[in-house]
Amino acid sequence: MAEGDIEQALADQVRDAAERGQPLKLIGLNSKSFYGHAVEGEPLQLSGHSGITRYEPTELVLSARGGTPVPEIEAALAENGQMLTFEPPGFDHTASLGGAIASGLGGPRRPWGGAPRDQLLGMTLLDGRGRILHFGGEVMKNVAGYDLSRLMAGALGTLGALLEVSIKVLPAPTAERSLVLELPRERALQKMRELARQPAPLSAACHLDDRLHIRLSGNSASVAAWENQIGGDVGDGEDFWQGLRNHRLRFFQSERPLWRLSLPPATSRLDCEQQVLTDWAGSQRWVYSSSSAMEIRDEVAKVGGHAILFRHGDGKIPIFHPLDPVRERLHCGLKKTFDPQAILNPGHQYASI
C-alpha cells in the first residue's frame, strides 16, 4: 500500500458503521467545522488519506487523495505556473481538497474561474455501504454515464466520502493588478455589471464600504490596457483578496449571524441587506441583517436566489435554504441510493438527508 493511502481502512470503518447503523462524522482537515448543522457521530478521519497521486502539467489535470491539504496542491501547481481556479477558502485553517469539493465553496474568482464543480473531472467515492466507486475520469470531456462526481460537489459528505479527486487546473495569469474605485453601493453594482459585460480580464469584483475592488488577471498587455481604461487607484493587492477568500477582513469579524445570499448579479439592494459585502460582481452577498430568517429567504427567493445562514446561527434556524417538495423527494431518494443506512453526515445539510 502506498504511503498516505488508507482507502481500505476507511472502507472497513464505513462498512462496519453501516452494519451497526452508526452515524459517521466526516472530517478532513476540519477548516469548515462551523459550517452546516452539527453532526453527532463517530469521526471518519479522512486527513490520513493524503497525497498528490498524479499531476502532469501539460495535461492540465491533477489527481490527489481527499485529505491532501489545499496549500500542498497550490504549491505543486505554482511550481509549474498553474493554479486552482476556484480559490477554495480554508478560513482560519488549512482546507483539504476533499473538503473543498464537498463544501462547494469558491473564492473571489468564482464567476470567471468556476466553482469546484466546474473544475471537477472525476473521483473515487466511498459510499454509505463502504463500497469504492469511480465516476467521471481524468480527461476534460467525459459524458459516459450520469455525472455522479459533480453531484458530490456541495453535498457536504452526505452521499459519500471523497477518496480521490481529479480536477482541471489552468495556467496562472502572468500579470495581475488590483484597483480600487471610490463608489457608493448602487453605482458600484452598476459598474461591476458593466465590466462583466465587457471582454475585460476580470478575476474578482467586490464592493465594501464605498469602495469597489477590482482584480485584473491575464497577460501583461491585456491587464495594462484595461487598467488604463478602468482607472481608479492601486488596490491593496493579494492581501485584500486572500482576506476576502478566507473571511479575514474586518467585515467578517462579528459574532452576529452571517448570511450568504446567492442572487442574480444585477439584483438591486434588497430590504434585508442592511450591512453588506457584495462579491462575485453582484452574485454573492454577505449580509448582516435585522430581518428574520423567513423575511430574508422570502425576499431572496422572489428574485430567484437562495440564502444560507453561513455562520453564527442559533442552532434552530435551518442553515440551508428550504427545498420545495419535489426537490426534497429527489434529495431523499439520492441519499437512500448512496447511503441507505443514513450514516454519512446525517442532518449536516438538511434534516431529511
Partner 1 sequence: MNEIERNKQRDVLAPKLRKVVDGPHVLSLAEELKPYECDGLAAYRVMPLLVVLPGSVAEVQAVLRVCHAEGIAVVARGAGTGLSGGALPNEDGILLSLARLNRIISIEPENCCARVQPGVRNLAISEAAKPHGLYYAPDPSSQIACSIGGNVAENAGGVHCLKYGLTVNNLLGVEMITIEGERVTLGGGGLDGPGYDLLALITGSEGMLGVVVEVMVKLLPIPQRAQVALAAFDEVEIAGQAVADIIAAGILPAGLEMMDNPSLRAAEDFVHAGYPTDAAAILLCEVDGGSEEVSEDIAKVRQRLLDSGAREVRTASDETERARFWAGRKAAFPAVGRISPDYYCMDGTIPRKHLPRVLREIARYSEESGLRVANVFHAGDGNLHPLILYDANNSGELELAEEVGGRILELCVEVGGTITGEHGVGLEKINQMCAQFSPEELQMFHDVKAVFDAKGLLNPGKAIPTLNRCAEFGAMHVKAGDLRFPHLERF
Taking the least distance from each CB to partner 1, the nearer of 66 and 265 is 265
Taking the least distance from each CB to partner 1, the nearer of 250 and 326 is 326
Residue range at the interface with partner 1 (CB under 8 A); choices 21-29, 42-50, 54-62, 206-214: 54-62
Terminal-to-terminal C-alpha distance of the chain: 34
Q: Choose which of 52, 76, 172, 180 interacts with partner 1 (CB under 8 A).
A: 172
* Sites for partner 1 among residues 80-119 (CB under 8 A): 81, 104, 110-111, 114-115, 117-118
Binding mask 124-143 for partner 1 (x = CB under 8 A): ---x---x-xxx-xxxxxxx
Q: Choose which of 9, 78, 221, 234 interacts with partner 1 (CB under 8 A).
A: 221
DSSP string spanning 37-51? S---SEEEE-TTS--
The answer to whether the beta carbons of residues 128 and 23 sit under 8 Å apart is no
**In a 3-state reduction of DSSP, which class is residue 75?**
helix
What is the spatial distance between Cα 170 and Cα 327, in angstroms, rounded to a whole number?
34
**CA 273 from centroid of its chain's CA atoms:** 22
Tell me if 74 contacts partner 1 by CB under 8 A. no
Binding mask 16-45 for partner 1 (x = CB under 8 A): ------------------------------
> CA distances (Å), 125 to each of 10, 14, 68, 129, 335, in order?
11, 12, 15, 11, 14
Taking the least distance from each CB to partner 1, the nearer of 9 and 330 is 330
* Sites for partner 1 among residues 263-322 (CB under 8 A): 263-267, 280, 283-284, 303-306, 308, 320-322
The amino acid occupying position 312 is: H
The answer to whether the beta carbons of residues 178 and 157 sit under 8 Å apart is no
Tell me if 341 contacts partner 1 by CB under 8 A. no
Tell me if 159 contacts partner 1 by CB under 8 A. yes
Q: Which three cell numbers stand for residue 217?
A: 488577471
Q: Name the nearest CA neighbour of 315 among 285, 347, 342.
A: 347
The CB-of-327 to partner 1 minimum distance in angstroms stands at 6
Tell me if 53 contacts partner 1 by CB under 8 A. no
Instruction: Enumerate residues 6+ apart whose C-beta is below 8 A from 30.
Output: 93
Q: Choose which of 69, 88, 128, 201 interacts with partner 1 (CB under 8 A).
A: 201
Any bridge partners for residue 216, and if so which? 177, 202
What is the spatial distance between Cα 223 and Cα 142, in angstroms, rounded to a whole number?
34
Residue range at the interface with partner 1 (CB under 8 A); choices 1-9, 30-38, 44-52, 151-159: 151-159
The CB-of-253 to partner 1 minimum distance in angstroms stands at 25
Tell me if 185 contacts partner 1 by CB under 8 A. no
Q: Name the nearest CA neighbour of 348 among 338, 335, 329.
A: 335
